[in-house]
Amino acid sequence: MRFGADETHCRSCRALCPASDLDRHLWCPSCRKQVKRRGARWGRLVGFVASLGVAAYLILRVHPSPRYLMFYLLMLLLTYILTSRIAVSVTHGYYRARGSVTGCATPEGTE
């Protein structure tokens, strides 16, 4: 099968795509979308678990008073935001370094 010079395979799903649609890692738009979706899911999960951990620490160890309730709620919100962003970045990097989102792609040159 011959294809034009402007078409190449996605490194993740091995689908034939126009070269203009691929990013600098040679991933197609659907694979990039899937990585972002998985990263967001893991980020929300990690942020929620970290916030629960901080909330448990505050309730069990610090015994928050009503006077500083807004401060503690703000701390929980910031914990969620920061840990979720870090988890999204780490997850995105992990899937990019692994080279495949779907798990069914073959490495370059092993066909």
pLDDT above 90 covers what percent of the chain? 56
Q: Is residue 107 part of a domain?
A: no
Q: Is residue 57 part of a domain?
A: yes
Question: pLDDT tens across 13-31, in order?
Answer: 888 989 888 888 888 999 9
- What range defines the domain where residue 18 resides? 7-98
Structure tokens at 64: 């928050």
Q: Is residue 111 part of a domain?
A: no
Q: Is residue 109 part of a domain?
A: no
Number of structural domains (the chain) is 1
Q: Is residue 21 part of a domain?
A: yes
**pTM (two decimals):** 0.76
Question: pLDDT tens across 48-83, in order?
Answer: 999 999 999 999 999 888 899 999 999 999 999 999
Do residues 48 and 81 lie in contact, with contact meaning Cβ atoms separated by under 8 Å?
no
Q: Is residue 87 part of a domain?
A: yes
Give the position of tokens 């034939």.
Answer: 16
Q: Is residue 103 part of a domain?
A: no
Residues contacting 22, CB < 8 A, separation 6+: 8, 10, 28
